[in-house]
Every structure is written in structure tokens, then in C-alpha cells.
Amino acid sequence: MQLLLPFIGLSFSGLAYANSSSANPSATVTGFLSTSSGTLQVPKGASCACAKLSRSMPKSVILPGSANYTTQTVDNYWDIRADLSPACVFVPNTTAEVSQAVKIIGACDAHFAVRGGGHMNYPGSNNIDAGVLIALSNLNSINVKRDTVDVGPGLNWYQVYSALEPHGRVCIGGRMKTIGVPGLSLIGGFHYFNNKYGYAMDNVITYDVVLGNGAQITVNKSSHSDLFWALKGGANNFGIVTRFELKTYAVPRVSTTIQIFNETNIPEYLSAVCEAAKLDDNDPIAAGMISTITYNATTKMAQGSILGVQEGISNPPSQFANFTKIPATQRIHNVTTMKPWAETLDSPKQMMRTMKPDAKVLYLIYKAWKAAVDSIADVQGLYPTFVTNVISPASVRVAKTNGVGNVWGLEEEPLIIWQFSTGWALAQDDIRMEAWSRQLVEHLHGFNKELGLASEFIYMGDAGEWQDPYAGFPSENVARMRKIRSSYDPAGVFSTLSWGGFKLGL
Ligand SMILES: Cc1cc2nc3c(=O)[nH]c(=O)nc-3n(C[C@H](O)[C@H](O)[C@H](O)COP(=O)(O)OP(=O)(O)OC[C@H]3O[C@@H](n4cnc5c(N)ncnc54)[C@H](O)[C@@H]3O)c2cc1C
């Protein structure tokens, strides 16, 4: 439960801690932040932390009322529902500052949230009311090395692809340009080239982490190897990552395809999606796509599309032959590089479930979704999409054979993640839209369960806040993650004070 933040004064330029001197201020007790222009009433822990942060690192703290405060708390979020009102925003410039801040926050018993690229899509996943927001945007250094790249958590994937471009190299990150490096890398990471190189998490070879007690550690295969495993899909349960060292691959040119299909060809289109999940070459050509069906509930027109990328210069790209043989309304093939491709893909509410590939059932799910969209056609600004992501056996094999693994623990079998990604204009429709998505997705998942097609795997990046991704991991992996969390964060800073994301639970 978040605490509300009643503003007594509206403009704040300086800050002093005017709280009682309890050693362990509770977040439920009110504290006051005196400012030159007014007093802010916030939970005691937040007033303690914001005042101490302001005193020790004044240049890195942003208070309500300043122009930068709005930039930090509103403009940096992909989902406008995530705009909240932190008591203060801490924007560290160094890992040492992150460490000092975590120590202060822990000592003050303050609630806090961490933001990387700000793309996680539910309120409170990366922002907080009346607590401390740690915004990592200034940790944006990048260092391209021979076959790896060091990346700060303040960067987005487009910035990383741009830095690698002159070297003819790519790394495994996000498909849309503004997604942040840290969130995606810590939850998994769907990229076009998963079938050859695994998921983004499988490509991190070093993490610099600030633990709950402020300690700075470097985590890799030989140092803190248990935490190294847990960070591969374990999200924000263990610490704040201040540097990711990522593997890079020589892919100087990519072959791309944009294909659009009208509604009559959607059965063949969904069949090709299922076939893509089943592709399982021993020596695969790296290739993958964004596959989306859009539906206009006013015109009743639906269309399917793929945005495909393949390594190399095959034109048309050979790995999309199952799509290329379907009549299309538009088809554009190109040979280019990752940077200009990613540049065009700027970044709707997501709800998803996973199933074994069955083209007929996937088509029935699509039809049920379309009928359900008709029932909400009156919603202002409605932008409904039906998105599919594939998990191929080869993409899972990477972690099974790299001597590290990841927390997903998937079997080498093809899976399809089907997802409703829905945009709408007005906050007054939030509850209706969330209930619509949730009921529909669970009803259709139940249908798949009866058919023996359902998988309980849920990708955190596309999950609704009510969904539990950990329930889809092997229970022994979840137990191991909890044990690792207890040993690295015995005080529970990242399980009791840190808000947002998908928490491992007790
Ligand atoms: C339009 C859109 C397109 C997407 N496309 C893809 C895609 O192609 N592939 C894919 O895999 N996913 C995709 N996603 C999902 C995306 O990966 C997640 O939303 C991811 O969390 C975004 O990372 P971020 O850094 O922007 O997240 P944020 O929202 O900033 O953070 C996500 C979570 O991680 C925590 N966190 C952030 N930084 C750190 C850190 N340094 N240390 C510890 N914890 C941290 C935050 O507290 C938060 O709980 C997409 C999402 C959207 C909205």
C-alpha cells in the first residue's frame, strides 16, 4: 500500500529534516520536510532520507516544485499511469552515490523505487508516491570493448546499438528504441536474435551491484556465482545494478522485412507464427520478429504484420519464408544495420499468457479477442493489439548449455506468448480496461488449460501487475532465489523497502 502525499506548500527550493529523532522511523508515521517556501508532509522515513540525501549529495537531489521534478517524475515514463509523486528524486552520478544513498535509505527505513528506462508498464513498478525515487538516468556511460560492451543503467537500447554500430557489432537487447537497458536485462529480454544467442539476460557477463547494505560488488561466473545466476531473470530483488557488461556479436549488416497481411490471411499468418516458434536448427541463423495484429473496432478491419530482422544480407530474408509466401498488402525487404532499423521503432497496457504453438487454437484466441474488443468499442482512444512472441527451443538451449542457466528454467520446447496490448485515452477507463483484459486473458488461458496447451510461464516484461511470473518458474528455482536473496540482503531492503517490479515474495 502506498502512502499519499499531501502537499502543504507547492514550491520547494531547499530542504531540512524536521522530524523526531527516532532511530528507526516507520514509513507509516508522518514526518515533515521544511523548505524555504513551505512544508511537505511525508512519511517519516522519506523525510529522513530526502533530508539526508539533500545534505550529503545536494546536486543529485531533486525536490517537488522544481522544473526538473516534473521531467523526472512524468516525462520519463512510457505509461502515463506510472506518473506518481515521490517525496524526492535522487539522480546519482556515480556508483558510490548509489551506495551512499542505499545506506541512507536503509538507515532511515524509507520506501523507495528505482527507475531505469521507465518502460515497465504499471503504476508503481518504477516510481513511488511519497517515497524516494532513484532515477538512474545519469549513469549513462558506455565503453565498447573487443567483444563486450560496458553499459550504464541510464541508457536505452537505441543508445547502445548506436555506440556499437561503428564497430559492426550488435548486442541482445530490446526491440523498441527507448526501452531501458536495466529493466529488460534483469527480467529476460526478447530480441530478434534470441534463437541464436539466447535472451538478453543470457548475454550479461558481469554485473556491478549495490547491495542493500550499500556494499558494491562485481558479480560474474566466478565471483558471487549464485547471485550471477539469480540476476538472470530475477528482476530487482537483489540490489541495484550500476553496470552491465554485455556480450557483443559481429553483425555488420542485417536483412529486414516489413510485411502486412489483411484479415483473410490471418489464419495463415498465425500458422507462420507457430512455425517460427518451432524452428530448431542446430546452427541457426539469428532471426526474429515483432508480430502484431491490430483491430479497428469502428471500421471492423484487422491486419497482421511482422517486423522481421535477420543477421546477414539475404534479401528477402530466408528465415521469414513462411510469411513471404502468404499474399501481403505490403512487403518491404531491406539490407541495413541495427541502428537505423531500431531508430524507426519508437515505442500500449499489456496482459499475456503462454501456450504451445497450435495455429487453430491461436486463431480461436484471436477471434475471441476481436469479439471482446467490439464490446469495448466505445472506449475513447482505443488502440487494441494482439501481439505474439515466440520462444523457440534453440533460444532456451543457450542457457541450458552455457554453464550458468537462468531462473526461467524453461524446457527446450516451442512456446507462443500471446498478449493483449491495449492503449486508451482516459484515466476514468483504467478500471474497466484492466478488468476487461484480466477476465479475457484468464478465460482464454483456462480454455488452453482444458486443451492441454497452456504453459504457466509469464514474461515479466509484458505481465499485468496482478500476474505472478514466479509461479511459472520451477519451484526449486524460486526457492534458490529466495535463499540467495536472504544471503545478499539479510535486512530485506529490496524486499520490504523497495517498491515496484515483480517481488519474489516470502
Ligand atoms: C513499448 C514496449 C516495448 C517493449 N518491447 C520489449 C522487447 O522488445 N523485449 C523485451 O524483452 N521486453 C520488451 N518490453 C518490456 C520491457 O523489457 C520491460 O518493461 C522492462 O522492464 C523495461 O526496462 P526499463 O529499464 O525501461 O524498465 P524500468 O521501468 O525502468 O524498470 C523495470 C523494473 O526494473 C527495476 N530496475 C530498473 N533499473 C534497475 C537497476 N539498475 N537495478 C535493479 N533494478 C532496476 C525497476 O525498479 C523496475 O521495477 C517492452 C515494453 C514496452 C512498454
Distance, CA of 425 to CA of 257 (rounded, Å): 31
Is the whole model's pTM more than 0.85, yes or no? yes
> According to the model, what pLDDT value does residue 239 have?
98
Does the beta carbon of 176 lie inside 6 Å of ligand 1? yes
Phi-psi label, residue 502: left if phi above 0, alpha if psi -120 to 50, beta otherwise: beta
pLDDT of residue 315: 93
153 lines ligand 1 (CB under 6 A): yes
118 close to ligand 1 (CB < 6 Angstrom): yes
**Residue 178 Cβ < 6 Å to ligand 1:** no
Q: What residues in the chain have per-residue pLDDT under 70?
A: 1-29, 34-38, 75-82, 345-352
The residues near 359 (Cβ < 8 Å, ≥ 6 apart) are 267, 270, 271, 273, 274
Non-local (6+) Cβ contacts of 449 within 8 A are none
Ligand 1: does its nearest atom lie under 6 Å from the Cβ of 160? no
CA of 227 to the centre of ligand 1 (A): 20
- How far is ligand 1, taken at its centre, from the CA of residue 458, in Å? 15
HSE-CB for 155 with a 13 A CA cutoff:
22
Q: Is the CB of 370 under 6 A from ligand 1?
A: no
Task: Determine the distance separating the centroid of ligand 1 and the alpha carbon of 380, expressed in angstroms.
Answer: 27
Q: Out of 76, 91, 119, give the residue to mutate to test ligand 1, the one with the largest number of ligand atoms within 8 Å of its CB.
A: 119
CA distance 470 to 505: 9
Q: Does 125 contact ligand 1 (Cβ within 6 A)?
A: yes
> Does the C-beta of 114 come closer than 6 Å to ligand 1?
yes
C-alpha–C-alpha distance, residues 235 and 497, integer Å: 15
CA 248 to chain CA centroid, Å, is 21
Does 78 contact ligand 1 (Cβ within 6 A)?
yes
pLDDT, one tens digit per residue, over 241-283 is 999 999 999 999 999 999 999 999 999 999 999 999 999 988 9
Mutate to test the pocket of ligand 1, among 79, 98, 202, 236 (most ligand atoms within 8 A of CB): 236
Ligand 1 mean position to 120 CA, how many Å?
5
CA of 450 to the centre of ligand 1 (A): 32
- CB-ligand 1 contact for 342 (6 Å cutoff): no
Q: Ligand 1 atom 23: the closest Cα is on which residue?
A: 183
Tell me if 469 CB under 6 Å of ligand 1: no
If you measure from the C-alpha of residue 157 to the centroid of ligand 1, how many angstroms do you get, rounded to a whole number? Answer: 11
In the reported structure, the alpha carbon of residue 394 is separated from the centroid of ligand 1 by a whole-number distance in angstroms of 24
Listed residue (218, 400, 367, 244) closest to 295, CA to CA: 367
Point out the ligand 1 atom lying closest to the alpha carbon of residue 78: 53
How far does the centroid of ligand 1 lie from the alpha carbon of residue 173, in Å? 11
Residue 82, ligand 1, Cβ within 6 A: no
Spatial separation of the C-alpha atoms in residues 268 and 260, rounded to whole Å = 12
- pLDDT given at position 75: 65
What's the 13 CA to ligand 1 centre distance in angstroms? Answer: 32
